[in-house]
Amino acid sequence: MKPQSEDSISEYLIKRIHEEGVWHIFGIPGDYVLNFYNKLSQGPIKVINTCDEQGAGFAADAYARINGLGAVCVTYCVGGLKLINSTAQAYAEKSPVIVISGAPGKTERLKNSMLHHKVNLYEDQLKIFERLTAASAELNNTERALSEIDRVLDTVLQTKRPGYIELPRDMVSVIPASSNPGTTAVTEAQRIGTPSEALELAVRMVNSSQKPVILAGLEVERYDLMEKVLALAWRSNIPIADSILGKSAIPENESLYMGIYAGALGEENVKDYVESSDCIIMVGVYLTDLNLGIYTANLDPEKLIYIVNDRFALGGHEYPLSGFDLLDRLAKADLRWHKPGHIPYSQRTKRFDDDFSSNDKIKVTRVFQALSSFLNEENIFLADPGDSLFGSIDTCFNCRFISPAYYASLGFAIPASIGAQLARPDLRPVVLLGDGSFQMTGMELATAARYDLNPIVVVLNNQGYGTMRPMLDGAFNDVANCRYSKVPDFLGTGLGFQIRTERELGEALTEAKSYDGLCILEVLLEKNDISIPLQRLGENLAKKV
């Protein structure tokens, strides 16, 4: 858009993020940002007040993953510095979040050297966020303010990484003397096209292979590449596996989909198929430790075609070109039809029945089996890091899946469910997390209740950090033993269930499904009850010792 002469700096900022699809902004007010909050209240973007700034950051992160852009707004330092963790996660996992922070005014900084919330120097918070974002700006120059807004926003949208805008409170209502909108940070002319020889090498590698496989990662979702990946798969009849970070990037009921590849964390038949492939086409995959099963993956670089947004490698050699340009060309190339033989299809065929009528003590494996049958296309599933994530690897969920599987910050899932449901109000969130995670951010359920959201929250109560116990156990892994099923009583709304048996789990899920309010299912587990993927990982790591 072109800024109008009557637009103040704050009005222009609000218009720009709203034009990009932001209908909700998350945060907590403070005196340095109150005037901007007042401007927000008069515009089309609804303010969602959370319990804590980190919760606001996680909510904006999930909103961005679904919506394409998220926004969070806080006050200076005491609010902004609480967003360091959630912004770092958004950067690490390519989630486009705009962080807007109020700040002391330019004039008052000159008059007062020690205004409240200041740490050391007034520019400290800006300097910190420069390290955590793709672009940052302090709107302290009336002539450049609008172009700086454009620059930061355009960079965020193109890189899929967060940006930071600091708005001094005496600049909120300022109308710039001249309108000088910026241009996009990276133009198409600056991108390096795909050399024809690189495409020829890739086509030759695919066509000469006997057992090619596609491995899809998080960038497939971030850059909306699902149709291109499927076009490539269908064109040459190539089976597809997801990485952990890319789970649900490819529909799990797709005929060529065979499951999650995650080294020793994943199922053995999927692992064997991928690692025996003579041509592995990686699209948007991050080569992180968790994605590679804590580096238990065994992939030959000579057999890889590696495609990400800003990189392309083939047979261990890197090329200075756009990987996504190559993907587009490869999906349209003259590829031969492959006959891959037996494909595991492990996750699609391992569907679980709905028989949860026994009084047997509930086990964590049965929780995942129940959720596999319970979840459908009307849900969005959010798994917190830990066994909630690891146990999901073997489980087919016919719905959207979100988990911070690389940065892996505990406490993400509950506040993320708020952002997810506001971004997609037609989908009901189902959250799975441990009791340790709940104690970090569980009070954001008060925010969900305030805004009439209805997540179903399943708390795995194993009295502590269950993922840590197999590595090294001690009292440091224990947490307070709370009654999470009583939280609805405290909130004054919702249903709570305490679950000890399979029958109680089945009955609770059935009742929660028909209840149009938030629900908490507290599942009482033994301390050392862990999922099958986590058991596999432990066994494989033990072999290396």
The answer to whether residues 29 and 49 touch, using CB atoms and an 8 Å cutoff, is: yes
Q: What pLDDT is stored for residue 393 in this prediction?
A: 87
**362, 317, 344, 311: which is closest to 521 by C-alpha?**
362
* Range with top average pLDDT, 177-181, 262-266, 540-544: 262-266
Q: What pLDDT is stored for residue 368 in this prediction?
A: 94
Instruction: Please say if the pLDDT value at position 335 is more than 90.
Output: yes
CA distance 419 to 453: 10
Q: Give the length of the chain.
A: 545
Q: What pLDDT is stored for residue 192 in this prediction?
A: 38
pLDDT classification of 542: cutoffs 50, 70, 90 = low
CATH 3.40.50.970 fits domain 9-186? yes
Q: Virtual CA dihedral for 309, 315, 319, 321, nearest 10 degrees?
A: -30
The answer to whether residues 281 and 314 touch, using CB atoms and an 8 Å cutoff, is: no
Residue boundaries of the structural domains of the chain: 9-186, 194-337, 350-542
> What percentage of residues in the chain have a pLDDT greater than 90?
66
Helix (H, G, I), strand (E, B) or coil at 504: helix
Task: Please state the rounded mean pLDDT for residues 213-230.
Answer: 94
Task: Please state the rounded mean pLDDT for residues 119-146.
Answer: 94
**Using one digit for the tens of pLDDT, what is the confidence trace for 365-383?**
999 999 998 999 999 999 9
Hey, what are 101's tokens? Answer: 């922070």
Q: What pLDDT is stored for residue 543 in this prediction?
A: 61
- Exposure letters 426-454 (e unless 16+ CB within 10 A, then b): ebbbbbbbbbbbbbbbbbbbbbbbeeebb
Q: Virtual CA dihedral for 164, 57, 406, 124, nearest 10 degrees?
A: 40
CA distance 230 to 227: 5
Q: SS in 3 state form for 157-217?
A: HHHCCCEEEEEEHHHCCCCCCCCCCCCCCCCHHHCCCCCHHHHHHHHHHHHHCCCEEEEEC
Q: What is the CATH number of domain 194-337?
A: 3.40.50.1220
pLDDT classification of 471: cutoffs 50, 70, 90 = confident
Q: What pLDDT is stored for residue 113 in this prediction?
A: 77
pTM value is: 0.89
Q: What pLDDT is stored for residue 469 in this prediction?
A: 79
- Do 194-337 and 350-542 share a fold? yes
The answer to whether residues 378 and 397 touch, using CB atoms and an 8 Å cutoff, is: no
Q: What pLDDT is stored for residue 544 in this prediction?
A: 54
Instruction: Please say if the pLDDT value at position 519 is more than 50.
Output: yes
Crossing angle of helices 364-374 and 502-514, rounded to 10°: 30
**Using one digit for the tens of pLDDT, what is the confidence trace for 231-248?**
999 999 999 999 998 998
| DSSP assignments along 394-452, one per residue | T---SSEEE--TTT--TT-HHHHHHHHHHH-TTSEEEEEEEHHHHHHHGGGHHHHHHTT
pLDDT classification of 181: cutoffs 50, 70, 90 = very low
Instruction: Please say if the pLDDT value at position 76 is more than 90.
Output: yes
Task: Please state the rounded mean pLDDT for residues 447-462.
Answer: 97
Task: Please state the rounded mean pLDDT for residues 347-367.
Answer: 74
Q: What pLDDT is stored for residue 187 in this prediction?
A: 37
Q: What pLDDT is stored for residue 468 in this prediction?
A: 82
**Using one digit for the tens of pLDDT, what is the confidence trace for 393-403?**
888 888 999 99
**Using one digit for the tens of pLDDT, what is the confidence trace for 17-61?**
999 999 999 999 999 999 999 999 999 999 999 999 999 999 999
pLDDT, greater one: 301 or 59: 59
Beta-carbon contacts of 333 under 8 Å, excluding residues fewer than 6 positions away, are: 199, 202, 203
Hey, what are 480's tokens? Answer: 């307070």
Instruction: Please say if the pLDDT value at position 5 is more than 60.
Output: no
CA distance 149 to 37: 17
Q: What pLDDT is stored for residue 316 in this prediction?
A: 78
CA distance 388 to 459: 9
pLDDT classification of 545: cutoffs 50, 70, 90 = very low
Q: What pLDDT is stored for residue 193 in this prediction?
A: 41
CA distance 2 to 356: 59
Q: What pLDDT is stored for residue 128 in this prediction?
A: 97
CA distance 459 to 518: 13
501: DSSP letter: B
- Exposure letters 457-479 (e unless 16+ CB within 10 A, then b): bbbbbbbbbbbebbeeeeeebeb
pLDDT classification of 533: cutoffs 50, 70, 90 = confident
CA terminus-to-terminus distance, the chain: 59
The answer to whether residues 140 and 123 touch, using CB atoms and an 8 Å cutoff, is: no
CA distance 25 to 535: 40
* Range with top average pLDDT, 257-261, 297-301, 421-425, 534-538: 421-425
**Measured over all CA atoms, what is the biggest interatomic distance in the chain, rounded to whole angstroms?**
75
Q: What pLDDT is stored for residue 191 in this prediction?
A: 37
Q: What is the CATH number of domain 350-542?
A: 3.40.50.970
Q: What pLDDT is stored for residue 411 in this prediction?
A: 97
The answer to whether residues 37 and 71 touch, using CB atoms and an 8 Å cutoff, is: no
Task: Please state the rounded mean pLDDT for residues 347-374.
Answer: 78
**Using one digit for the tens of pLDDT, what is the confidence trace for 93-107?**
999 999 999 999 888
- What's the whole-number average pLDDT of the chain? 89
Helices (H) and strands (E) in the chain, counts: 21, 19
Residue 282 — left, alpha, or beta (φ > 0 → left; ψ -120 to 50 → alpha)? beta
Hey, what are 186's tokens? Answer: 């990276």
